[in-house]
A and B are shown apart, each in its own frame.
Chain A
Amino acid sequence: MEIFEHNLLFLFKNMPMLLSGALTAILLTFTSIIIGLVVGIMVTFFRIYGSKFTKKLMFAYEWLLKGTPPLILIFIFYFGLGNYLNLGEFFAAALALGLRSSAYQAQIYRGAVLSISTEQTEAGLSLGLSRFRTFYLVILPQAIRLSLPGFTNEFTIVLKDTPLAYGVGLVEILKAGRDILAQQLSAAIVSGKVTASLNPFIVYLTCALIYFVLFEIFYYSLNALSKKFQIPGFIFDK
């Protein structure tokens, strides 16, 4: 019991470190998601409305990024690219996670656009709207709504992938927890009281708990957003 209290007290003292790690994780998630959103929309547009060549190019892009483990992508952008261009841990990780997310986001948006019947596009055109304005006024407002559940999912996946940035030394939640453990262990060894060292179980559970809280917050806010923009009475029918 004493050890348990000792652990909690120590964690409490080091909370600022964990919370600053959490802030980094949040920033990394948002940056990655925004990169993924911008690139993902472009990929979607060219895969649906592009020429044969651009369609194939976009397909290859998605295929390559989906087929590569994200940690390897982070290493490529940090160590590989680092020889020529030093992005720093944060932006290397954000670019890697963001581009990977763009491939998945593109898939979500494409599914949404294609699920809207072509008759609606024809109806927009037949009113005298241009192709672009039909996309903007008819297809896009529906595609965004249809994409929200998938986007929510993708958002939480990126959030839970942020500990991979630990691999290049970014102090996010997991690295912060690990640093706290290491500091305490060396202090315990120096003072000769190894039994008083922190229990890794408790530290990592705390890290997991922070992720879980973040997950809940984002999941519920994004779901609330989906509900707010839901089309009354609309169930997936074309």
Chain B
Amino acid sequence: MADELLKVESIEKSFGKQKVLDGVSFILNKGEVKVIVGPSGTGKSTLLRCINLLNPPDKGKIYLQNKEITSLKHTLVPAVRQKIGMVFQHFALFNHLTAIDNVALGLLKVRKMNKTDAYKKAIDELNRVGLADHKDKYPAQLSGGQKQRVGIARALAMDPLLILFDEPTSALDPELIGEVLAVMQALAKDGMTMICVTHEMGFAKSVANEVIFMEKGKIIEQGLPEELFSNAKNPRTREFLSKISQLYGETGHK
């Protein structure tokens, strides 16, 4: 029996009258990589934002390491978020801070590390994404791919239990996608637990333990990547995945 890290139990979320999530459940084990695909507006990003309580679900429960996090007091929420890293579609780097200060901010202000240790760790994390040479550059001086790698380093620095990736490559120029996917693949191989909303099928095939297909706030089908890609049971899944492979290519980036 694998080590259960996160359990999402029939969560629902509405914005106004629109129901964005309609009873989503899954279990994520330690070291597992899940890829979530689906048409836009089906609640993939909302699902991630429910998990780290940026948009807490209206109904349903979420457990992190067997402890329910959906009913916590306000004051305890930041401690949960600290354990769950997040990487954003538009990078969300703090524009007024250099690359290394972006990575060190959480270490200094949340984990209260002293300056020497915090910057030492920040450099290690930048090294891990291959950007130690760019540590003193401001976000505006970095390329999109470099910004996203700093974003990943910033999440890694907090030593999270898992990292949520919200379409990490969809705002990038095609030639910059590879460097970000390479970092993500390396993380997956190092045993990082990840949930990735992405349409990079090559990435899904090479590292995902499970692919989840979502539509209209529900999980339509889930399974091993090769199963889902070659013989999905649901016609909508087949249709969507074939469109995606046409767009992004079968093999993707390796």
Contact = CB atoms under 8 A, between A and B. Distances in A.
Real complex partners, A and B?
Answer: yes
A23 B36 CA distance: 66
Given A233-B138, A235-B140, A127 B92 contact: no
A237 B84 CA distance: 27
Contact of A234 (B95, B106, B110): B95
Contacts of A233: 137-138, 140-141
Contacts of A130: 78
B54 interface: yes
Query: Contact size class for B?
Result: 20 to 34
Contacts of B78: 125, 128-130
B105 interface: yes
Interface string A32-71: 0000000000000000000000000000000000000000
B96 A231 contact: yes
B26 interface: no
Interface string A97-138: 000000000000000000011011011111111100100011
Given A122-B54, A231-B95, A231-B138, A128 B81 contact: yes
Contacts of A232: 138, 140-141
Contact of B109 (A119, A123, A129): A129
A127 B140 contact: no
A163 B33 CA distance: 68
B96 A145 contact: yes
B158 A128 contact: yes
A130 B79 CA distance: 10
A127 B154 contact: yes
B88 interface: yes
Contacts of A142: 94-96
Contact of A117 (B79, B90, B138): B90
B92 A123 contact: yes
Most buried by B among A120, A127, A141, A233: A127
Contact of A126 (B81, B109, B141): B81
B92 A117 contact: yes
A128 B54 contact: no
B94 A120 contact: yes
B106 A127 contact: yes
A238 interface: yes
B109 A137 contact: yes
Given A128-B110, A129-B109, A141-B96, A238 B154 contact: no
Contacts of B96: 141-142, 145, 231
A138 B141 contact: no
Interface string B64-99: 000000000000001101101110111111111000
A127 B79 contact: no
A142 B151 CA distance: 18
A129 B140 contact: no
B81 A127 contact: yes
A233 B81 CA distance: 31
A137 to B, nearest CB: 6
Given A127-B110, A127-B158, A142-B95, A122 B86 contact: yes
B52 interface: yes
Interface string A193-237: 000000000000000000000000000000000000001111101
Interchain residue pairs A-B with the least CB separation, the first 9 = A128-B82, A119-B92, A233-B140, A127-B106, A123-B92, A126-B86, A233-B141, A128-B110, A234-B140
5 contacts: A122-B88, A123-B88, A123-B154, A231-B95, A233-B138
